[in-house]
Structure 1
């Protein structure tokens, strides 16, 4: 799936986390995404992009499985950086079902912003 085609040309919201990420911080990011969904409505694209060592919290053995699955059910895309996954020794098949990947988070963020998406770093 080509990530930039998920919500067509509609504008959306990018929520970006880079670097170390604790479980509580991820929970806060996912709550922010849920709050954004409630306010922006079902037509807005919302993506949570995880880059850096925090991608380990997206693995299928993560204690964050329930929170991630709940957020994904709200039509919030959760994306892991492919480069960060490789650095962490993980592959796409190691992730919680429903978590997608992008080859390079930095390029995905740039493409979305060029397309008019809003950017928030949490």
Structure 2
């Protein structure tokens, strides 16, 4: 009896996005180039938060969601800006601290791709 070949485990990539520019393009290129299963998570913090604030870069935020990437925002950045999670476009989750979240993901074996 021959066993069916199993698909490889997904490549797990966490994208650090402290600036809103180039994030959508980088993630779109990553997804398009993938030749195996892929899990992508984008962590926005600092000025990168603009990418997911309602009414700021809605078109880009929509294109980012279309890639299938999970997007999370830094609670520290939200607090520093005096905004709540309600100001984010739909589908964006909040993590307590971007720097800690990125460290944990790397510890879990995720590849870090910084987009400056």
TM bucket (normalised to shorter chain) is: 0.7 to 0.9
TM-score (norm 2): 0.80
Match of residue 56 from structure 1: 50
Match of residue 6 from structure 1: none
Q: Deviations over 1:3-58 (max 9, x none)?
A: xxxxxx9541111123xx3x5x1xx1111101111122573111111111331342
Structure number with greater Rg is 2
What are structure 1's unaligned runs of at least 5 residues? 1-8
What are structure 2's unaligned runs of at least 5 residues? 1-8
Please provide the CA RMSD for this pair: 1.9
Match of residue 12 from structure 1: 12
One of 63, 76, 81 as aligned partner of 1:88: 81
| 1:16/1:50 contact within 8 Å kept | yes
TM-score (norm 1): 0.77
| 1:11/1:45 contact within 8 Å kept | yes
Match of residue 40 from structure 1: 34
| 1:55/1:84 contact within 8 Å kept | yes
Match of residue 75 from structure 1: 68
SS at 2:37 equivalent: coil
